[in-house]
Amino acid sequence: MTIALTPAEWEALALSLKVAACSLALVFVPGIAAGWFLARRNFPGKVLVEALVHAPLVLPPVVMGYALLFTLGRHGFLSEALFDSDLRLAFTWKAAALASTVMGFPLMVRAVRLAIELVDLKLEQAAATLGASPWRVFRTVTLPLALPGVVTGSLLAFARSLGEFGATITFAGNLPGETRTLPLALFTELQAPGGEGPAMRLAVISIVISLAALVASELIARRIARRLGRSE
Amino acid sequence: MNPGRYESRKMYLGRQLLLAVAFLTSSACGNRAPAPNTFTVFAAASLTPIVEELVRTQDLDRTARLHTAATSTLARQLESGAEADLILTAHPEWIAWLVERDLIEPGSVRDIASNELVWIVSNESADTTSFLISPQFGTDANSRDAGTDSKASLNASAPPDSAPDSAPNSNLNSNLNSAFNLPPNARLAVGDPAHVPLGRYTREALIALNLWSDLRPQSLPTLDARSALRLVELRQAEAGIVYASDATSSARVTIRARFPRDLHAPIRYQAAALRGASPAARAFLDTLSSPAVTPLFRTFGFLPPAP
Amino acid sequence: MTALEFEFEMSGANFSLSASAKLDAPVTGVFGPSGAGKSTFLNCLAGLARPTSGYIRIGDELVFDSKTNHFTPPHQRGVGFVFQDRRLFPHLNVKSNLRFANRAAASESKLKEVADLFELAPLLDRRPATLSGGEQQRVALARALLSNPRILLLDEPLVGLDHALRAQIIPYLKRLREATGVPLLYVSHDLSEILQQTRQLLLIESGRTTASGDLLSLVQSGKITHGNLDNVLPLKLDHHDTEAGLSLLATKSKTQIAGSLVAAEPGQQLHVGLRPEDIVLALDRVDAISTRNQLPGEVRTLINEGARVLALVDVGVELLVEVSPSAVQELDLKAGRQVVCLFKANALRYLDSLPAAK
C-alpha cells in the first residue's frame, strides 16, 4: 500500500471536501436560526416541528434520499410545481451537498439549540435594557456565548457530510468525479474483486480527515472557551 | 502471535457471530425450526425471484434457506467465514475469486442461465412523452450522426449466424436506431462500467455499436443492476440499459429494444457447491442446472446458458 | 412632572403582583421583604415582563397600556437596570461591556468620563470573571449610566457585598445619583440601606404595593410593619478624640454626637445608623452614666404599634425611639414632652465608612 493517492482517490477526496464544505455552508445559517427558534420560542405545534427537524436522525438515510427524489428529483412534486420539471439537480454534486445538508441539519440544530439554551436569558435581558434590539442581542450576546455549540454543530454536520452514504447514493447517485464521495468510492471498490486494497486506503483517508476535523474543532472550542473566560 | 491461531480465532468469532445472527433470525421467524437436512443457498440478488420460485415448486421451503445480496457481498461474506452450501453468482469473476480462496468444491461450478441487455423506458414516459425514444422518432431528419454510426457498426459487428435464439434481433435495427436518439438533457441509467457487471456488459455493447462516447456523458452509472432499473421506474432517468430479467420483473418499465448477445461477453449465471455442501444442496444444484428448469428461467426473463 | 406613574396587575402561575403609585422623588426607595414581588415589579417597569393589565408611564411616555394593547419593548424604554446579579457580559472585557451600553452615543469621551467616575480605568481590559464583587458592581453601575436612561433601577445593589465592600460602593452610588440627574429607584429589603439614599419610600408586601411616601408619614400611618426601623443620620465629622477613643460628629443643626473612632477625615459627610431600640429616653439629663450621648429634645408624636411604641423625638434631627407601652405611661410621654435621648457611642453604625483600625 503506497501513500500517494491515485487520481481517482484525489477526486473522491476533493469532492468529499467540496460537498462537505457546501453542505456546511447550506446548513449553517438555517441551522442556527432553527436552533435559536427551538431554544427561545414556544409555539403551538412545536413538538411536531421538532420531530420533523430531527426526522433525518432516526429515519434510514435511504428514505431521506427517496424523499428528496420525490420532492426535488426529475419529476418530484416541487420540481414540477416550481421548475416545470426542468430542475437538473438530482445526480449532480449539488444533490450530494443537499443530501448531506438534510442529514446534517438536525445535528447542527441540536448542538446550537442546546448551546443557546445554556446562554443565560438574564444576560439577554440585560442587553435589552441597555438598548440592544433583539437582533443585536442575538448577534452580540447570544451567538458569541453559544459559539462552542455552533462549532460543535458545524463539525458534526461536516463529519456527517463526509460520511453520508444512503441519502447521497439515492438522490445523487454514484457518478465518478461528480457525486462519488469517499464512502461511495469505498463501497464501490468493494463491489469488484481486488478492491480491498483501494478500499482500505480510502478508509484510512476517511479516518485521517475525520480525526483532523475533530482535533480542529477541539482546538477552536478551547480557544473560544478561553475567550469566553470560562475555565476549561 | 501465531497467524494460524489468529486465523482460527477470527473464524471462531465469525462463527459465533453468525450463530448469534442465525439464532436471532430463526427465533424471530418462530415456528420454522430447520430440519436436519437443511442447506443454505447464497444467491445473487438478481436471481432472487427465480430461486424463490424454484424452492417453492421443488417443495424445499423447509430445507432450503435463502440468503440474497450482491454477488460481491456474498463472496466476501463467504471469505469471512459465513457458512453456506451453494452459491449462485451473477458474474464468473466472483466464482474465480472464491476458487482462488479454495472455498469451492472442485468441479462443481456450472452455468445455469444467461441474460441479455435491454433498453427500457418508464411506462409513464412511454405513454405520455412523445419526444422520448420511439421507433418513429428515429427516422427524424434531426437524428444524430450516432444513429447512422450505430447502423454501420451494428451491421459490421452482427454476423448473420449470431444468436439464432435471440428473437428480437430481427427488429433490432429499427429499434436501436431510434432508441439511441436520446434527447440532449435525458439521462441513461446504466450499471457502473467500472465496477458493476451490468455496466461492463453495457459498455462493451455500446462500444461495439460505436455509441459509447456519445452516450457516456448522459449515462447515470448505478451501483447495481436493480438501481438502474429503479431510476427508470422513478423517472429519474429517461431510459436505462438493464438485464432483460430485471426489466421483465418490473411492471413500470417498457422494453424498447434488445441488444444482440454477441455485442458483449456472455452473461453467465453460475452455481457452485461450497466445500462441505450437504447432499440435499448438491441435489438442488443438479436441479438448477437441468434442462427441466429452462422454461421457468424463461418465464423470469432469463435465457438458457450459452453453449 | 411625575417621574413614574403606574397602575398594573400581573399574574403568573404561582405569583401575582398588583402595583400602583405615582413617584416623583429624585430617589425612591422600594422596600419590601424578599419574595414580596420587587423583582417582578422592576421587570414590569423595564419591559422584561408584561403586566396582565393596567398602564405604566415613564416621564411623559406611556410605555405600557393594556387598553390600547401598547407595549414598548425593553430596548426602547430607556430604563437603566442595575441587576442584583450584575449580569456583565462574560465574553466581553470591561471596556466592551461599557461600550455595549454606549453604542448610540458612541462617544469615547463620555465613556472615559464615566469610567473615571467609577474609577474603572485600570480595569478596562479585564474580563468580568477576574473582577471582585465590588469591581463588578461598579462596572454594572457605569454600564447602566452609559445607556442614557430616563430612569434608573437599582436592584439590591449592595447585596452579596460585605461591610467593607459596601462602604466602598456607597460613594459610587452617590456619584451615580449626582451624575444621572434621572429618577432613581433603589430596591432593597434593608431599610437602613435605603434610608442612606432617600426617605421617600414605596412599600411592597405580599405581591402588592401597600403605600408610598415619606418615611415618617409611613411610620406614623403604621404602614411599615416589617423589618427593622432605623434612624439614618447624615452627619459631618467634626474631629477625632483619640485619647477618649471617640469621633465627634455634628448634625446640620450643630448637635454634637459622639461615636466610636471612624476612619474618615474631619469635615467629611457620613451616614450613620442608629436603631430606635438602642436609644433610651429620660426626662432629665443623667449624670454619672456611661452613655456618651445625651441629646435633649421634644417628643413630636407617638406611634402606637401595640407591643411597642415609637416616639419621634426632635433633637435637631428627628429620631425614632422605641419604648414600651408601660414606659409611655410612667414617663407620661406625649407630643410636646421634653425628653433626653441617651445612647452609647458605639450604638452609632457607620454605614458608608469603616471603623478605624484599633
Chains A & B: contacts with CB separation below 8 Å: 57
More confident residue, A176 or B142: A176
pTM (predicted TM-score):
0.77
Q: In what order do the strands lie in the sheet with C338-343?
A: C280-282, C338-343, C293-304, C309-314, C318-323
Angle at B50 between CA B108 and CA B23, to 5 degrees: 75
C-chain CB neighbours of A230 within 8 Å are 90, 129
CA distance A174 to chain B (A): 6
Query: What is the pLDDT at residue C104?
Result: 57
pLDDT-based confidence at residue B35 (cuts at 50, 70, 90): low
Whether residue A5 lies inside any domain: the answer is no
Give the number of other CB atoms < 10 A from CB of residue B92.
Answer: 17
Cell of A202: 480510502
Length reported for chain C: 358
Q: Structural domain tally of chain A?
A: 1
Q: Are A192 and B93 inside 8 Å of each other by CB?
A: yes
What are the percentages of helix, strand and coil residues in chain C, rounded to 5?
A: 25, 35, 40
Q: Which whole number is the average pLDDT over B196-208?
A: 91
Pairing of strands C280-282, C338-343: antiparallel
CA distance B73 to chain A (A): 7
Q: Are B195 and A191 inside 8 Å of each other by CB?
A: yes
Q: Are A130 and C73 inside 8 Å of each other by CB?
A: no
Chains touching B by CB (3 or more pairs below 8 Å): A
Whether residue A232 lies inside any domain: the answer is no
Q: Are A73 and B234 inside 8 Å of each other by CB?
A: yes
Cell of C265: 477625615
Query: In chain C, positions 132-151, which contact chain A (CB-CB < 8 Å)?
Result: 143-144, 147-148
Whether residue A104 lies inside any domain: the answer is yes
Q: Is pLDDT above 50 for C17?
A: yes
Q: Which whole number is the average pLDDT over C186-201?
A: 89
CA distance B231 to chain A (A): 9
Q: Are C75 and A129 inside 8 Å of each other by CB?
A: yes
CA distance A112 to chain C (A): 18
Query: What is the pLDDT at residue C287?
Result: 87
Q: Which residue does chain B place closest to A68, by CA atoms?
A: B236
Whether residue A71 lies inside any domain: the answer is yes
Q: What is the dihedral of CA B255, B261, B265, B269, to 10 degrees?
A: 70
Q: Which residue does chain A place closest to C89, by CA atoms?
A: A123
B-chain CB neighbours of A91 within 8 Å are 187, 220, 236
Q: Are C238 and C67 in contact (CB under 8 A)?
A: no
The per-residue pLDDT for range C150-168, each reduced to its tens digit, is 999 999 988 878 877 887 8
In angstroms, the CA C147 to CA C105 distance is 9
Domains and CATH numbers, chain B: 39-114+268-299 (3.40.190.10), 117-263 (3.40.190.10)
Average pLDDT of chain A to the nearest whole number: 88
The per-residue pLDDT for range A89-134, each reduced to its tens digit, is 888 899 999 999 999 999 999 999 999 999 999 999 999 999 999 9
Q: Is B70 on the interface with A (CB under 8 A)?
A: yes
CA distance A27 to chain C (A): 26
Query: What is the pLDDT at residue B2?
Result: 47
Cell of C315: 433633637
Percent residues over pLDDT 70 in chain A: 96
Q: Is pLDDT above 80 for A38?
A: yes
CA distance B179 to chain A (A): 20
Q: Which whole number is the average pLDDT over B208-237?
A: 88
Best-predicted range by mean pLDDT (C56-60, C168-172, C300-304): C56-60
Q: Are C101 and A131 inside 8 Å of each other by CB?
A: yes
Q: Is A143 on the interface with C (CB under 8 A)?
A: no
CA distance B224 to chain A (A): 9
Range of lowest pLDDT (A100-104, B31-35, B77-81, C33-37): B31-35
Q: Is pLDDT above 80 for B204?
A: yes
Whether residue A100 lies inside any domain: the answer is yes
Best-predicted range by mean pLDDT (A53-62, A212-221, B218-227): A53-62
Q: Which residue does chain B place closest to A187, by CA atoms?
A: B223
Cell of A99: 443530501
Pairing of strands C4-11, C16-23: antiparallel
The partner residue sitting opposite C147, judged by closest CB among A130, A134, A145, is A130
- C55: Cα within 13 Å, side-chain hemisphere: 13
Average pLDDT of chain B to the nearest whole number: 76
Range of lowest pLDDT (B7-16, C206-215, C216-225, C265-274): B7-16
Q: Is pLDDT above 60 for A152?
A: yes
Query: What is the pLDDT at residue A68?
Result: 92
Whether residue A10 lies inside any domain: the answer is no
Q: Are A176 and B221 inside 8 Å of each other by CB?
A: yes
Range of lowest pLDDT (B31-35, C170-174, C199-203): B31-35
Instruction: Give the closest residue to B198 by CA, choosing from B179, B180, B223.
Output: B223
Q: Are A130 and C83 inside 8 Å of each other by CB?
A: no
The partner residue sitting opposite A191, judged by closest CB among B97, B223, B231, is B223
The partner residue sitting opposite A129, judged by closest CB among C81, C89, C90, is C81
- B33: Cα within 13 Å, side-chain hemisphere: 2
Query: In chain A, positions 192-231, which contact chain C (CB-CB < 8 Å)?
Result: 227-230
Q: Are A193 and B187 inside 8 Å of each other by CB?
A: no
Whether residue A11 lies inside any domain: the answer is no
Q: Are C103 and A131 inside 8 Å of each other by CB?
A: yes
A-chain CB neighbours of B93 within 8 Å are 192-193
Query: What is the pLDDT at residue B33?
Result: 45
CA distance A124 to chain B (A): 49
Query: What is the pLDDT at residue B181?
Result: 65
Q: Is pLDDT above 50 for B112?
A: yes
pLDDT-based confidence at residue A27 (cuts at 50, 70, 90): very high
The partner residue sitting opposite C101, judged by closest CB among A130, A137, A227, is A130
Q: Is C71 on the interface with A (CB under 8 A)?
A: no
In angstroms, the CA C166 to CA C291 distance is 28
Q: Is pLDDT above 50 for B171?
A: no
In angstroms, the CA C71 to CA A129 distance is 14
B179 SS3 class:
helix
Query: What is the pLDDT at residue C181?
Result: 82
Query: What is the pLDDT at residue A142?
Result: 95
- Exposure string of A130-166, with b = 16+ CB inside 10 Å and e = fewer, is bbbeeebbbebbbbbbbbbbbbbbbbbbbbbbbbbbb
Q: Specify the amino acid at residue C179.
A: A
Query: What is the pLDDT at residue B108?
Result: 93
Candidates C87, C125, C145, partner chain A, best to mutate (most A CBs within 10 A): C87
The partner residue sitting opposite B222, judged by closest CB among A174, A176, A189, is A174
Query: What is the pLDDT at residue B168?
Result: 42
Q: Is pLDDT above 90 for C307?
A: no
Q: In what order do the strands lie in the sheet with B64-69?
A: B64-69, B39-44, B86-89, B269-273, B110-113
Query: What is the pLDDT at residue B196?
Result: 83
Q: Is pLDDT above 80 for B267?
A: yes
Query: What is the pLDDT at residue B178?
Result: 52
CA distance A36 to chain C (A): 19
The per-residue pLDDT for range C111-152, each reduced to its tens digit, is 888 898 889 999 999 999 999 888 999 999 999 989 889 999
B51 SS3 class:
helix
Q: Is pLDDT above 50 for B156?
A: no
In angstroms, the CA B292 to CA B303 distance is 13
A-chain CB neighbours of C91 within 8 Å are 144-145, 227-229
Residue A34's domain comprises: 20-227
Give the residue ranges of DSSP H helices in chain C.
Answer: 38-46, 94-101, 108-117, 133-146, 163-180, 191-195, 215-220, 325-331
Query: What is the pLDDT at residue C21?
Result: 94
- Block residue for cell numbers 449470431: B162
Q: Is pLDDT above 70 for B151?
A: no
Query: What is the pLDDT at residue A85?
Result: 62
The per-residue pLDDT for range C22-50, each reduced to its tens digit, is 998 999 999 998 888 999 999 999 999 99
Q: Are C46 and A145 inside 8 Å of each other by CB?
A: no
C-chain CB neighbours of A134 within 8 Å are 73, 75
CA distance C239 to chain A (A): 44
Q: What is the dihedral of CA B210, B211, B214, B219, to 10 degrees?
A: -140
Any idea what the CATH number is for the domain that residue A166 is in?
1.10.3720.10
Q: Which whole number is the average pLDDT over C253-265?
A: 88
Give the number of other CB atoms < 10 A from CB of residue A121.
Answer: 12
In angstroms, the CA C256 to CA B280 distance is 121
Q: Are C87 and A141 inside 8 Å of each other by CB?
A: no
Q: Which residue does chain C place closest to A147, by CA atoms?
A: C91
In angstroms, the CA A71 to CA A89 distance is 11
The per-residue pLDDT for range A212-224, each reduced to its tens digit, is 888 888 888 888 8
For B273, list phi and psi in degrees, rounded to 5.
-90, 140
What are the percentages of helix, strand and coil residues in chain B, rounded to 5?
A: 50, 20, 35
Q: Is pLDDT above 60 for C200?
A: yes
